[in-house]
């Protein structure tokens, strides 16, 4: 429902057509927040839709606090590197790009000029970046993927976990997210007796030390040497060496709340910027 431009429900698909029209007509700078995720294996204990649940939680919270509309146009994303594990569904790069362009193009035709993005899956990043560039050029809309805040204590801790333990997939970070938002979907008992399964060349393992004076260099060399598929270097689908059972949902709640607030602040400031001439009809 929308009354005088004020929404009471924030998923696009929950609005009637008149409610959508009311929201558009009574907002000088309406924003649509688009989330992307994935349907891919997340170790033995997390749901296949972990990344999409992440995206849904964030974009809906942002929309609710900024009177924006939330859209998650699809469940799968770009996940060919997870196909070695059963249950994964991946779109091709052309399909995902088409979904993004068609979603933005449809809403642009109805008058939306500002699109803010979030992806719960890193594998979508390059396609999303291309889609944002193309949408600016072909649909005459403003697009952005906001990231932050980066200087908080929680952000620094997450960076440390990622750097030192390779906690980038199915480890304590993502486990905490599911335990916070969808605890009924976590099967933590499957981790009984868990030990790290990460298989990297010993030289590359040495590069997982952010205290090294040459860390900026070796971190990039490690990235350049990475194998293409997750099953090339982990047998259980968990990419890190720290124990997922150490997940702290309350810590993740702090990060989630500050990240949502950053998006909300971004939107409120963005709305004060007049639409540049290149994006006007």
> pTM higher than 0.85, yes or no?
yes
CATH fold for domain 2-150+256-279: Rossmann fold (3.40.50)
E strand or H helix at 36, and its extent? strand 31-36
> From residue 125, how far is each of 77, 129, 145, 180, 206 by CA, in Å?
10, 6, 10, 24, 27
- pLDDT of 255-280, one tens digit each? 999 999 999 999 999 999 999 999 99
Q: What percent of the chain has pLDDT over 90?
A: 98
Rg (CA), the chain: 20
Distance CA 194, CA 180 (A): 22
Q: Around Cβ 90, how many Cβ atoms within 10 Å?
A: 19
In the chain, where the domains are located: 2-150+256-279
Instruction: Judge whether residue 251 has pLDDT over 90.
Output: yes
- pLDDT of 20-53, one tens digit each? 999 999 999 999 999 999 999 999 999 999 999 9
Range list of H helices, 29-152: 50-66, 93-109, 125-139
pLDDT of the residue at 2? 78
């Amino acid at each position: 429902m929308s009354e005088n431009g004020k929404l009471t429900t924030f998923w696009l698909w929950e609005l009637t057509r008149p409610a959508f029209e009311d929201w558009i007509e009574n907002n000088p700078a309406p924003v649509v927040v688009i989330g992307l995720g994935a349907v891919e294996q997340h170790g033995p204990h997390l749901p296949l839709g972990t990344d999409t649940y992440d995206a849904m939680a964030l974009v809906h919270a942002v929309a609710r606090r900024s009177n924006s509309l939330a859209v998650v146009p699809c469940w799968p994303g770009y996940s060919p590197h997870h196909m070695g594990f059963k249950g994964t569904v991946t779109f091709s790069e052309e399909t995902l790009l088409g979904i993004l362009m068609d979603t933005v193009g449809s809403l642009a035709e109805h008058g939306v000029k500002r699109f803010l993005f979030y992806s719960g899956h890193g594998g979508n990043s390059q396609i999303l970046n291309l889609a944002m560039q193309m949408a600016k050029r072909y649909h005459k809309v403003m697009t952005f993927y906001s990231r932050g805040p980066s200087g908080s204590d929680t952000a620094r801790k997450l960076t440390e976990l990622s750097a030192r333990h390779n906690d980038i997939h199915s480890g304590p970070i993502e486990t905490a997210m599911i335990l916070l938002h969808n605890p009924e979907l976590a099967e933590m008992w499957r981790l009984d007796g868990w030990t790290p399964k990460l298989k990297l060349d010993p030289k590359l393992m040495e590069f997982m030390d952010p205290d090294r004076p040459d860390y900026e260099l070796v971190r990039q060399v490690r990235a350049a040497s990475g194998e293409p598929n997750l099953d090339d270097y982990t047998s259980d689908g968990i990419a890190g060496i720290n124990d997922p059972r150490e997940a702290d949902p309350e810590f993740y709640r702090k990060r989630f709340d500050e990240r949502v607030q950053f998006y909300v602040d971004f939107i409120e400031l963005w709305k004060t910027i007049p639409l540049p001439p290149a994006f006007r009809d």
